[in-house]
Chains A and B, each alone.
Chain A
């Protein structure tokens, strides 16, 4: 049974539990309209399409693999950040972001992750000035490190008391939706078809969320050699819609 303290009184007089409020915040932070620039990146997909390697027909299979591989890595990073305790936070935060950078061989995709992370952290701090987030920004500035999107997402979710499972599902949904939205700009992919694709990915997202808490650093082996290579070739494209 919820206790009285679990509820807040809004100005409309509607009672809302703390859990529902946390969900509301998560919805906002994982919204594709969040102004951090998620829609400016294709992470190499633009190259795959330009090279004729990826079309609408193969998109479902491609995205499923994307969730299982890249999703595994991003979920791991977010979960590690979500778990960071107060003790030795500074070193752990630096180490995690260094790992995140090392797992991303393609410069443009790595840079995209860092830019989104920096913007998300900055935005979150303007929405709610939590000391831990301020510490993370100060560390990034003083140590001149990049803060990666998934790490920041996990850190922010922890600060807002969002459950790990919900946080991971939202992160994976957001990153997949961003890629689908990118595909809509460069492939003949309709709105309904795009939503169907995303819907069909829910079991894959669920599977990655379920396995993430038991994934160790040693286990981690997300493989996206084709996409990484495409991201490396992205600067060579004559006409580009996306930054990465």
Chain B
């Protein structure tokens, strides 16, 4: 096996531009540097451009610096998904595996992001920074799923440090600054302030800039009722809350990943119907 010090550090980059042509959203890959790659986009029936994000390295290694920029032109509709879980490999030294995503959504555009679960292996060090800028009437459905490690391997919160940031701005103002630093050696993650008796985390951000507070309050009530029906103490907990404006956030904690993945789509199905009057397309995967 190759020693970690001999592994080549990757500075991968992906720049995706989406434009509108004849009522359909088209992808232009402005730049891609390994290990990040996009093969092609698929046009969905409603004109949405559906894209698989590949990491041909199979995961993020210590020292890797991977950046992705996504630009949606006005009125474009995009759905992104990953091709597999994001595996964060161990770091033998102090080198951090780093991924950053910058998404810019122009007026009336819509971005749906359905990644697979992020799995931080034992001894991994990982930093993920996401920044999303929303213009007027831009819409967003963005999910993140986090595992405690390779549970089947007996790993639970065996990583060294995770730093996960998602900063969402609407019309240039901060809408949500959702940041967390998880360091099991310093924090007792079974503390109910963090995970309690649960291990898996799902976070969803649903936004559409410009909708008034009353509409968000009504959607919160609808999703909250659904959250209550899905919450099973000791197995799965869900919460839904309006943001200060333009959106809401969903958070789930579970003892297993399946509960989260399957339920997350239902939230978006309800929300997309309320916000856009249409049903979402579920990426073809096993949930």
Contacts and interface: CB of A to CB of B under 8 A. Distances in A.
Given A222-B179, A236-B224, A229 B193 contact: no
A102 to B, nearest CB: 4
A48, A66, A110, A223 — most chain B CB neighbours (10 Å):
A223
Interface residues of B, number: 40
A54 interface: yes
A34 interface: no
Interface string A72-114: 0000000000000000000000000011011111111010000
Contact of A221 (B163, B194, B242): B163
A227 B237 CA distance: 12
B34 interface: no
Given A65-B191, A236-B224, A229 B244 contact: no
A232 B239 contact: yes
A102 B180 contact: no
Contact of A53 (B179, B187, B192): B192
A48 B220 CA distance: 21
A101 B192 contact: no
B271 interface: no
B242 A107 contact: yes
B70 interface: no
Contacts of A48: 192, 196
Main secondary structure of the interface of A (DSSP, over half): helix
B200 to A, nearest CB: 11
A62 B239 contact: no
A216 interface: no
Interface string A221-236: 1111111111111011
B233 A107 contact: no
B228 interface: yes
B191 A61 contact: yes
Contacts of A69: 193
A234 to B, nearest CB: 9
Contacts of A103: 177, 179
A233 B191 contact: no
B227 A233 contact: yes
A53 B220 contact: no
A221 B191 contact: no
Interface of A: 48, 51-54, 58, 61-62, 65-66, 69, 98-99, 101-108, 110, 146, 220-233, 235-236
Interface of B: 163, 165, 173-182, 187-188, 191-197, 201, 220, 224, 227-228, 231, 233, 237-244, 249, 251-253
Q: Across the A-B interface, give the 8 residue pairs with the lowest CB-CB distance, nearest first.
A: A232-B239, A223-B180, A102-B174, A229-B239, A221-B179, A221-B181, A101-B244, A53-B192
